Amino acid sequence: MKNRLWLLPAVALGGGFGVNALADDTPLSYGQLERLLNSAEDYGFNRYEKLDADHDDNRFEIEGWRADGWELDVSMTLNDGTLTRESQRKSIAPDWGLTREELDAALSKARAGGMQHFAELEVDSNGHVEIEGYNAQQAQFELDLHRDELNSEHLDSGSENG
């Protein structure tokens, strides 16, 4: 199991994105994220590839799949989850997409590591999961982990005797 965690001062980020800009952006809290993910589930998502909170455009973007295999790419408003754009195409949901349970486990690991506000999550076809956000001091937070660390069998096996 290999977790990497980086904390960088927000003022070190490119594009002039400093601590004051972050404070004005009102980062996405866990409560807001939970409401948006519930809206995504209501829309039909059951596997996730990418989540991205864009404060400049008041937009939350989600890429993933429905249970019937349709690939979904939608945008919602950050404040209330209103659907603003959607794209669908027939596909086959890959094994490497995160289930809601795995997504929640990844976010729990990030929170336990110090992430207070969410910015982005992405998983690739190799199972590499990258989470970005901000800690309580508004420094950039990044966590890299592998999808295998998130399934219930792996989590349960760590507590078994044998």
Which residues are bridge partners to 145 per DSSP? 129
Q: What is the DSSP string of 111-144?
A: HHTT--EEEEEEE-TT-EEEEEEE-TTS-EEEEE
Segments making up each domain of the chain, as ranges: 4-47+57-100+132-157
pTM: 0.77
Asked if 62 contacts 47 with a C-beta cutoff of 8 angstroms, the reply is no
What would the pLDDT profile of 114-142 be if each residue is shown by its tens digit? 999 999 999 999 999 999 999 999 999 99
What would the pLDDT profile of 15-54 be if each residue is shown by its tens digit? 333 333 333 455 788 899 999 999 999 999 999 999 999 9
User: Which residue type occupies 156?
Assistant: D
The SS3 of residue 10 is helix
Element (H, E) at 7: strand 4-8
In the block, which residue shows the tokens 């979904």? 72
